[in-house]
């Protein structure tokens, strides 16, 4: 175990606890096993989120836990803080949540009651949105914004997707045309679209199944945005499933069992979500498998943008 990990464990009084590495993309994540229970130690990537954003995420998680949502519960350090400074960055500790990921990227889903799971997930997303709307955020709360500029502006949150270096000219033109159309559509729909705090990254690995309980983890990219973005993220990652129409219907039915949501622009958000990955992959293209992932992201976004134009007869 590295010295930073030992130092971090000491901040929470967990010296000598069993600690194993889990993941290391945006943050370095460890599972900690101790007499007080299992926890997740997160050594936050320097520069990815500033101190105010990290404090805000932890306050948000604590509030959602208190509201009865199944999310990671932040733990106070021995100094009574949810966030501690560690070297050039920060570290926090949250509760480990039991459960099994709903699935894994690009692998066929192996769920039993498939539509039942998607109905329950839709309902849980709706409960999250409702709890966020009912929460009085503390002064200084700040999170990223998946708003019009965050999706289609000059500096989108996950990068200028139209500048992905492997795009051919026709595909780049398609993405630029879609970007402009989406921006215009979103401006016109602002008064109708439901927005507020969203998870923003409900991929299969971030949804844990524990019997009938749905748990949501990894709020690292959560912030202010359109509620359709959360549904679009779930659906995008399951487009290839043979029963996708039934899964989509179940997700929407589950959501509507808890709260209303205008679905008029769902296809728009599916394409927008796909485009975010075309920007996200650019600084990661040299990683193992990066080129193949990039090709998949571009092909998926191209298909969804073209389908949107075909369906709306936009020329």
Spell out the alpha helix ranges (H) of 158-265. Answer: 169-189, 227-236, 244-256
Q: Are 305 and 174 spatial neighbours (Cβ–Cβ below 8 Å)?
A: yes
CA–CA separation, 303 and 161 (whole Å): 15
Tell me the C-alpha distance between 14 and 36, whole Å.
9
CATH code given to domain 3-96: 3.30.200.20
What mean pLDDT is reported for the chain? Answer: 95
What's the pLDDT at 23?
A: 84
Question: Across residues 131-152, what is the average pLDDT?
Answer: 97
Q: Which two structure tokens, joined as six digits, stand for 284?
A: 């990661």
Phi, psi (deg, nearest 5) at residue 307: -65, -35
Confidence of residue 95 (pLDDT cuts 50, 70, 90): very high
Instruction: Select from 240, 306, 279 the least CA-distant residue to 160.
Output: 279
pLDDT digits (tens, 9 = 90+) for 197-213: 999 999 999 999 999 99
Superfamily of domain 101-312: Aminoglycoside phosphotransferase (APH), C-terminal lobe (3.90.1200.10)
In tens, the pLDDT along 175-184 reads 999 999 999 9
Binned at pLDDT 50, 70 and 90, residue 314 comes out as very low
Band (pLDDT 50/70/90 cuts) for residue 106 is confident
Which residue, chain included where needed, has tokens 């193992």?
Answer: 288
Q: With bands split at pLDDT 50, 70 and 90, how would you rate the model's confidence at 2? A: low
| Half-sphere CA count of 127, side-chain side, radius 13 A | 18
3-state secondary structure of 239: coil
The domain locations on the chain are: 3-96, 101-312
Which residues have C-beta within 8 Å of that of residue 211, sequence separation ≥ 6?
A: none
- Determine which helix (DSSP H) or strand (DSSP E) holds 84, and give its type and residue range: strand 83-86
User: CB-based contacts of 58: which residues, under 8 Å, 6+ apart?
Assistant: 74, 82, 83, 92, 94
How many percent of the chain have pLDDT more than 70?
98
Query: What are 293's two structure tokens?
Result: 């992932």
Total residues belonging to the chain: 315
Per-residue confidence band for 3, with pLDDT thresholds at 50, 70 and 90: confident
């Amino acid at each position: 175990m590295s010295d930073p990990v030992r130092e971090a464990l000491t901040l929470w009084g967990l010296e000598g606890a069993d600690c194993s590495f889990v993941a290391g993309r945006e943050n370095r994540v460890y599972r900690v096993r101790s007499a007080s229970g299992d926890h997740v130690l997160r050594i936050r990537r320097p520069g990815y989120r500033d101190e105010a954003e990290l404090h805000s995420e932890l306050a948000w998680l604590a509030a959602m836990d208190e509201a009865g949502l199944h999310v990671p519960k932040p733990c106070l350090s021995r100094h009574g803080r949810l966030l501690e400074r560690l070297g050039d960055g920060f570290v926090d500790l949250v509760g480990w949540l039991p459960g099994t990921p709903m699935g894994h990227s690009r692998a066929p889903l192996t769920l039993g009651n498939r539509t039942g799971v998607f109905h329950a997930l839709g309902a849980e997303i709706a409960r999250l949105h409702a709890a966020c709307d009912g929460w009085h955020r503390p002064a200084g709360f700040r999170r990223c914004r998946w708003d019009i500029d965050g999706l289609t502006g000059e500096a989108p949150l996950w990068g200028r997707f139209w500048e992905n270096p492997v795009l051919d000219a026709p595909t780049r033109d398609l993405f630029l045309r879609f970007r402009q159309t989406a921006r215009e559509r979103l401006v016109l729909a602002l008064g109708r679209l439901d927005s507020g705090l969203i998870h923003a990254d409900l991929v299969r690995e971030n949804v844990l199944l524990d019997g009938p309980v749905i748990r949501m983890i990894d709020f690292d990219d959560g912030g202010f945005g359109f509620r359709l973005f959360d549904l679009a993220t779930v659906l995008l990652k399951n487009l290839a499933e043979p029963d996708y129409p039934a899964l989509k219907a179940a997700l929407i039915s589950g959501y509507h069992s808890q709260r209303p949501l205008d679905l008029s622009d769902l296809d728009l958000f599916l394409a927008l979500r796909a485009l975010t990955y075309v920007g996200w992959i650019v600084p990661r293209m040299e990683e193992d498998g990066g080129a193949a992932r990039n090709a998949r992201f571009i092909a998926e976004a191209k298909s969804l943008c073209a389908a949107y134009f075909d369906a709306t007869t936009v020329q």
